[in-house]
Amino acid sequence: MSTLMNVPKKGGLIQTENHSSDLPTLSSWIDDLFSRDFPSVFSQNFNRGISLPKVNIRESADAYFVEMAVPGLSKSDFQIDLENQVLSISTNKEDKKETENDRYTRREFGYSSFKRSFTLPETVDEGKIKAKYNEGILSILLPKKEEAKQKPPRNIEIS
């Protein structure tokens, strides 16, 4: 499965204390600059790249279900691969918006991509995996092999 590490919003992995004066150091000034939440008016005209999409994974007796929230894309934007029990979901999207006027005052373009990879359990029937994209949600069905499906309890008669 994929592993993510959260880094604190203020500072980095190592924090140092500044006892020498009240003036900020260059490194603390840079940390503050890049960790600051800019107002949406300032940031809305910049590249709207896709951050790593959130994923829900659930298991039933017969299958695993993967749901990924990725609005604003079409099903042709996705690349889903399976190799050596690793399911990879990726997309690359280039967005260009231009005015047809030669003297434009605004020109926007952007590029966004992501890739998520998951190691599948050996119980998944790789030949029966299905995917669909509907209203911003990519859903992947990972059926279990017949021998791995949970059997209902049965009563055994005593002779």
CA 100 – CA 141 distance, rounded (Å): 44
> Could you tell me the CATH number of the domain that includes residue 91?
2.60.40.790
pLDDT at 46: 42
CA 18 – CA 35 distance, rounded (Å): 18
pLDDT at 47: 44
Domain-embedded: residue 66: yes
Do 96 and 109 contact (CB within 8 A), yes or no?
yes
pLDDT at 13: 42
Domain-embedded: residue 1: no
Domain of residue 132, residue span: 47-148
Domain count, the chain: 1
Domain-embedded: residue 98: yes
Q: Which residues contact 65 (CB under 8 A, 6 or more apart)?
A: 56, 57, 58, 59, 139, 140, 141, 142
pLDDT at 135: 92
Domain-embedded: residue 86: yes
| Token output for 6 | 């959260």
Domain-embedded: residue 61: yes
Domain-embedded: residue 68: yes
List, in sequence order, every beta strand (DSSP E) within 70-136. 78-83, 86-97, 108-119, 130-134
pLDDT at 29: 58
pLDDT at 9: 47
Domain-embedded: residue 4: no
Question: pLDDT tens track of the chain, all 159 residues?
Answer: 443 444 444 444 444 444 445 555 666 656 665 555 544 434 444 444 457 889 999 999 899 999 999 988 888 999 999 999 999 999 987 766 665 656 666 666 667 788 999 999 999 999 999 999 999 999 999 999 988 887 888 899 998
Domain-embedded: residue 13: no
